[in-house]
Chain A
Amino acid sequence: DAKTTQPPSMDCAEGRAANLPCNHSTISGNEYVYWYRQIHSQGPQYIIHGLKNNETNEMASLIITEDRKSSTLILPHATLRDTAVYYCIVNGASGYALNFGKGTSLLVTP
């Protein structure tokens, strides 16, 4: 599985968009990009995933660059409840073991 690199921490003001980057320069053609988050002491929460096209759901948007070497998770209007550790994970279509790494600790401030 491709390795991912994320900044260790980020801040965002409440109500603003939170843009969380992820580098995955060794991603292969059949690997997907998944995003999860873990709010303190809770179980991880699936957010979104994509292959090459941009994706949007009720929680977030995922923008994947054309060369697929990086992606950005966008929370359009961050709230205090979005404070969490966000994990970018790359896995093949039949992959199931999630490698959570260290993620990005996002702090949303009032």
Chain B
Amino acid sequence: NAGVMQNPRHLVRRRGQEARLRCSPMKGHSHVYWYRQLPEEGLKFMVYLQKENIIDESGMPKERFSAEFPKEGPSILRIQQVVRGDSAAYFCASSIRGASEQYFGPGTRLTVT
């Protein structure tokens, strides 16, 4: 019974490059959420997606960030032209329905040099 999978676990990018973070939800879960944890800060909600739909992206920075959850394949969080302030742990969670009982992956730690 595989849990939520995220890859890569660690990602190093130079300023200006693109970062792609992938998340495969738990089997049977069609709702995906992305959270960001900046160093020494709490987790902040970024975006909520269902298959092929963005339900709520109120926590996403307005520029450079995008997310998708295609019909086939994992959810992708894409950060274009990364800056040092994007360095953080990015966690993905999934649930059976849109709800607060969510199951989290191990996270992707992004370092921008």
Contact = CB atoms under 8 A, between A and B. Distances in A.
A39 B88 CA distance: 17
B35 interface: yes
A95 B48 CA distance: 11
Interface in A31-78: 32, 34, 38, 41-46, 49
Contacts of B59: 97
B103 A98 contact: no
B24 to A, nearest CB: 13
B69 interface: no
Contact of B100 (A34, A38, A101): A34
Interface residues of B, number: 26
Given A97-B48, A97-B59, A100-B43, A89 B100 contact: yes
Contacts of A102: 42
Interface string A12-44: 000000000000000000001010001001111
Main SS class of interface, A: loop
Nearest to A33: B100
Contacts of A43: 4, 91, 93, 104-107
Given A97-B56, A97-B59, A98-B35, A46 B103 contact: yes
B100 A32 contact: yes
Given A34-B101, A98-B100, 11 more contacts: A41-B89, A41-B107, A43-B105, A44-B43, A44-B104, A95-B100, A96-B31, A96-B33, A96-B99, A96-B100, A100-B43
